[in-house]
Structure 1
Amino acid sequence: MEGFDGPRVYSCYKCRTHVGLHDDIISKDFQGVNGRAFLFSHAMNIVMGALEDRRLRTGLHTVADISCADCHEVLGWKYERAYEASQKYKEGKFILERKKIVEENC
């Protein structure tokens, strides 16, 4: 497991494994299954599930659920493919749901 010392790290709410860095947040204006979500450029200590096509608010995307590598809690998803040109910027990015992560100042 990777660990980082520094300001503002996001961790899994269940087991406190580090899953994202504040500096990797692209947007805080996303919606997840459980409410507000953040779009991250990178995520760490996660396991990807199977790819599937999902119709989300912004159209059809190929996504994979992402889970904490330690406790296996589903934290959000990774965008693999966006079918609409205006959504291509999401490809390779990660959604972490705000209710599933906690901010820690290390």
Structure 2
Amino acid sequence: MGKLHIDYLDSGQLYVCGICKAHLTDHKELISKDFWAGTGKAYLYNKVINVYSGILEERMLRTGLHSCCDIFCKSCENKLGWKYVWALEPEQKYKEGKFILEKNLIEKAEWDL
């Protein structure tokens, strides 16, 4: 097995894994806080780093049928949320390629380089 490569963000307001504190995304990537997941509130982000995707599956969510895959922290393998791959409803297409991070599984962190 090769050496694990973790990326770092150099912004002021970051969101990190709640377990290992690996950088995940920046506040500027936040699209919406109006989502819900298995652990409660969730946030929709445009871009997330240091994650890998699980198996692609179809899910019937509150807003209709979507193809999604769970996302996991690349460092500690903690489940963090999911990625939208495809949406059936035309008004839900904006979610395609975007990421849900569950609020209870991440933390807000300040980072100064």
Q: TM-score, normalising length from structure 2?
A: 0.92
Name the residue aligned to 2:83.
78
What aligned pairs does 1:12-23 form with structure 2 within 5 A after superposition? 12-23=17-28
Moved more, 2-11 or 37-46: 2-11
Q: From the CA coordinates, give the structure whose radius of gyration is larger.
A: 2
Aligned structure 1 segments of 4 or more residues deviating by more than 6 angstroms: none
Name the residue aligned to 2:66.
61
Q: CA deviation at 1:5?
A: 2.4
What aligned pairs does 1:19-98 form with structure 2 within 5 A after superposition? 19-98=24-103
Q: TM-score, normalising length from structure 1?
A: 0.98
- The aligned length equals 106
Name the residue aligned to 2:3.
none
Percent sequence identity over aligned pairs: 45
One-letter amino acid matched to 2:56: L
- Listed as ranges, the gaps of 5+ residues in structure 2 are 1-5
Q: Partners in 1 of 2:48 and 2:40 — Cα distance?
A: 19
- Cα deviation, 1:55-100, whole Å, max 9, x if unaligned, reads 0111110000000000000000000000011100000000000000
Q: Partners in 2 of 1:57 and 1:82 — Cα distance?
A: 12
When the two chains are superposed, the root-mean-square deviation of aligned CA atoms in Å is 0.6
- Listed as ranges, the gaps of 5+ residues in structure 1 are none
Q: CA deviation at 1:33?
A: 1.1
